[in-house]
Every structure is written in structure tokens, then in C-alpha cells.
């Protein structure tokens, strides 16, 4: 469980997040949706302990950052590191020792090669595998499907399903709305720095229509002169 109480974040005179409160339970996946610049990544960075903020963030496992797998939208890798070295480094950060890495390389990555030679999709798969091998209790997945091929996307959806069955707490942001409807139990609409709406699965269709209207319709009307 992760609980957020009155979370706010400002950069100078600009307010990015305003008095956000929510509770994220184990065994569930939560979609965080909103327009570009709505503050999704900033919210994730605050939860991960990478940004200072006002308000409280608490969890059943403390410190939260030591039990959290954070998949960045654009993952950073050291320039001269192999896939195997990267996975070993992440595991050791959680005091885990991986003895069956070849068997657990579910994406069939060339772990002996430098990560700098990987394609965008391969880097994404390596980052996903890294946080899974840490055996975290909480996961933040920021645009996890970007760059993945069809088979890997299907694999990721099944991974999220299994993580939920294991009682993990998962927060997901994705511009591909269908991936959220397949994986999430609840969704939060982040707008103007706050959670404007909170919806269960039964209302996902209505939320998608509202997003299309609010985020797309006006711009398309400008393009086509309607």
C-alpha cells in the first residue's frame, strides 16, 4: 500500500502538483492519465523519492524507495556496461543474487553485449527485466509499452497481471489507452496539478471518450476548419 496525503510540488513560482491525496492498494494496478505536461512524471518522481515535495507519502514497506521498481519513460544506462552487468548491479542494489539469469532472460536479450548497442525496444525490455529481478513490492511504470514489439507488449501485460496476483502495487502511465484498460483496476485523471477524476473499470469507456473530446477534438477542429 502507498498512501499520498496533500502532495504538492512547485518549481519556482509554478505549481505542478496541488494537494493530491490517494491510496494505492496491493494487488491492484492504477492508471495515471492526463495530457503531456500534466505532472505524471513529476508525481512518479516524488513517490520514488527523487523530488522534494510538500505533503506526506507513506507505504507499508519503508523506506519506500528500497522496495520500489521505477521504470522511467527514457531509462539511463552507463555507456560501457553489458546487459548482464546492468541486471547484476540492480539486483545487488536490493541485496539479491541471481544464479539463474539465463533462464530468467525472458526477452532473450544479448546480455553479453554492451547496452549501447541495444535498440530502443531492447533497452526497454532490459529495464523491465531489471526491476523485476529486484523482487520489488511496488512498481511505477512510466510509458512501459513505448518501443515494445507486439510479443513483448503481450508479455508485459501478462507480467502486470501476475504481479497483481502476487499482491504488488503498480502505477502505470501510458499514452496507449488500450493498455491501461487491459491492465488497470482503477484510473486517475491528472489535470491542472490535481486528480480531477477517479474511475473504476466500469467507467473506463466513459473516461476514454472524455479524453478524446477534451484532448483531441478541439485541435482536430482547428486542423480541419470545423
Domain residue ranges in the chain: 2-224
**Does residue 116 carry a pLDDT above 90?**
yes
Phi, psi of 200 (to 5 degrees): -90, 175
Query: Could you tell me which of 106, 137, 130, 114 has the C-alpha nearest to residue 25?
Result: 137
Cα dihedral 83→173→134→200 (10° resolution): -150
DSSP-assigned states of every residue in 74-105? S----TT-BHHHHHHHHHHHTT---S-HHHH-
pLDDT on residue 163: 98
Instruction: Confirm whether pTM is higher than 0.75.
Output: yes
Task: Name the pLDDT band for 218 (thresholds 50, 70, 90).
Answer: low
Please give the average per-residue pLDDT across 143-153, as a whole number.
94
Q: Give the angle subtended at the CA of 10 by the CAs of 66 and 53, to the nearest 5°.
A: 30
Please give the average per-residue pLDDT across 120-147, as a whole number.
96
CATH number of the 2-224 domain:
3.40.50.300
Mean pLDDT of the chain: 92
pLDDT single digits (tens) 75-112: 899 989 999 999 999 999 999 888 889 899 999 999 99
Please give the average per-residue pLDDT across 45-74, as a whole number.
95
Amino acid at each position: 500500500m502507498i498512501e499520498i496525503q496533500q502532495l504538492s510540488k512547485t518549481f519556482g513560482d509554478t505549481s505542478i502538483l496541488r494537494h493530491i491525496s490517494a491510496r494505492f492498494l496491493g494487488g491492484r494496478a492504477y492508471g495515471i492519465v492526463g495530457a503531456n505536461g500534466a505532472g505524471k512524471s513529476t508525481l512518479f518522481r516524488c513517490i520514488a523519492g527523487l523530488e522534494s515535495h510538500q505533503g506526506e507519502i507513506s507505504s507499508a514497506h519503508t523506506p519506500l524507495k528500497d522496495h520500489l521498481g521505477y521504470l522511467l519513460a527514457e531509462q539511463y544506462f552507463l555507456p560501457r556496461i553489458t546487459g548482464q552487468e546492468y541486471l547484476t548491479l540492480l539486483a545487488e542494489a536490493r541485496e539479491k543474487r541471481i544464479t539463474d539469469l539465463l533462464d530468467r532472460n525472458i526477452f532473450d536479450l544479448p546480455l553479453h553485449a554492451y547496452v549501447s548497442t541495444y535498440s530502443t525496444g531492447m533497452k526497454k525490455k532490459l529495464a523491465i527485466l531489471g526491476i523485476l529481478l529486484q523482487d520489488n513490492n511496488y512498481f511505477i511504470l512510466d510509458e512501459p509499452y513505448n518501443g515494445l514489439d507486439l510479443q513483448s507488449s503481450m508479455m508485459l501485460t501478462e507480467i502486470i497481471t501476475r504481479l497483481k496476483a502476487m499482491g504488488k502495487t503498480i502505477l502505470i502511465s501510458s499514452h496507449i489507452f488500450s493498455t491501461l484498460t487491459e491492465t488497470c483496476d482503477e484510473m486517475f485523471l491528472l489535470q491542472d496539478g490535481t486528480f480531477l477524476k477517479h474511475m473504476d473499470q466500469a467507467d473506463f469507456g466513459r473516461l476514454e471518450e472524455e479524453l478524446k473530446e477534451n484532448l483531441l477534438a478541439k485541435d482536430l477542429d482547428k486542423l480541419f476548419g470545423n
